[in-house]
A = this chain, B = another copy of it.
Amino acid sequence: MNYITEDKLVILGAAGAIGSNMAQAALTLGLTPNVCMYDPFEKGLQGAAEELYHCAFPGARVTWTTDIAEALQGAKYLVSSGGAPRKEGMTREDLLKGNAEIAAQLGKDIKANCPDLAFGVIIFNPADITGLTVLVHSGLAPSKIGTLAALDSTRLQTALAQHFGVAQDDVTGCRTYGGHGEMMAVFAGETKVAGTPLTELIGTDRLTEEQWEAIRQHVCQGGKKIIQLRGRSSFQSPSHQSLLMIKAVMDGQGYPWPSGVYVNDPANGFDKIMMAMETTLDRNGLTAAMPRGSDRDVAALKESYQHLCKLRDEVIEMGVLPPLDQWTTVNPNL
């Protein structure tokens, strides 16, 4: 079996549904044989590791540990699904307090144990804030930490494909930006359905304004439908898409969806935030570009940004993030 790299990939939260799926999928995708599984829950972690041993991936060297320093030592890649899970009826923002503290500690642990990290993906909610908090405390360059933001776009693609009865691939250019929460900005401008611009379809019999609004709402509610159907949060799609982000940095072959990225772009009105933007993921990590959209789209993005600023400022008030003017002291790369 050929792996893209021999570099160490650490999966944090590896006893959980997302993390254990990720360990398996990382090997199935052939990312690296060097997978380290970390979780504070030893019994479940050992059980998940045993499952992987029984898979008998050729050449795999899967390790597991409940010691975060040991887990991170020498890591080049990291995905963190750790954090409290989202329960039915909870908004992502409800999770803010506890998970921000977990993120701050993770950032410090990265700084202490794997300052040469090539790329880390943070996926525990609210990911925009936890990703930002990890980045600030890690001391890493902004290109090295991203958050999973693709699922909003793939949910939009799925919903449109189902509405129009076309193959999912025939719906192109689906893009949501800004917060990965109920205030996300759904950009319809670049979306096409079997070649026809979505903007030409909205408000017609094929997709009434009401239908479009329902789809938009559905997408903004994120994984709510999965929770209702399965009785649990989504775990397969977060696992798969996070690993594709890692893969893009490993192999330089690109990643087709937006990612959450650190944005400090006062010229465009964005100041010290992490949110989904148009992004490039390659061997150098993550870079952001301004999304293209209508005035209405851009206004929605700014509104989403404002919402994230409020959350960020709450975390600053909690003392989990330093005041904005001290960020470069904590992390000179910002």
Q: Which residues of A contact B (CB under 8 A)?
A: 20-21, 24-25, 28-29, 43-44, 46-48, 50-56, 58-61, 150-151, 154-155, 157-158, 161, 167-169, 225-226, 228-231, 234-237, 240-241, 257
A169 CB contact (under 8 Å) in B58, B157, B158: B58
Indicate if the CB atoms of B230 and A154 lie closer than 8 Å: no
Q: Contacts A51-B234, A54-B151, A234-B51: A59 and B229 contacting too (C-beta < 8 A)?
A: no
Say whether, besides A24-B236, A154-B55, A50 and B167 are in contact (CB < 8 Å): no
Q: CA–CA, A244 to B21, complex, Å? A: 17
Contact between chains at B157 and A47 (CB < 8 Å): no
B residues in contact with A47, CB < 8 Å:
225-226, 228-230
Q: Give 11 A-B pairs besides A21-B21, A54-B154 with Cβ atoms closer than 8 angstroms.
A: A25-B25, A25-B28, A28-B28, A44-B231, A51-B226, A51-B235, A51-B237, A53-B157, A54-B151, A54-B155, A56-B154
5 pairs, CB–CB < 8 Å, chain A vs chain B: A47-B228, A52-B237, A54-B234, A54-B237, A55-B154
Copies of this chain, count = 2
Is A46 touching B229 in the complex (CB atoms < 8 A)? yes
Contact assessment for A158 and B240 in the assembled complex, using a CB-CB cutoff below 8 Å: no
Query: Do A53 and B168 form a contact, CB below 8 Å, given A24-B25, A47-B229?
Result: yes
Q: What is the bound-complex CA distance between A163 and B61, given in angstroms?
A: 16
Contact A43 B229 (CB under 8 A): yes
Contact of A55 among B54, B60, B236 (CB under 8 A): B236
Complex CA–CA separation, A169 to B55 (angstroms): 12
Cα distance A200–B52 in the bound complex, in angstroms: 28
Evaluate contact between A28 and B229: CB separation under 8 angstroms.
no
CA gap between A228 and B42 in the complex, in Å: 12
A158 engages B53 (CB within 8 Å): yes
Is B61 touching A167 in the complex (CB atoms < 8 A)? yes
Contacts A59-B169, A169-B58 given; does A50 touch B240 at CB 8 Å: no
Task: Name the one of B52, B54, B226 contacting A50, with C-beta atoms under 8 angstroms.
Answer: B226
> How far apart are A225's CB and chain B's nearest CB, in angstroms?
6
- CB-CB < 8 A to A46: which residues of B? 229
Q: How far is the CB of A129 from chain B (nearest CB, A)?
A: 22
Give Cα A85–Cα B150 distance, bound, in whole angstroms.
Answer: 34
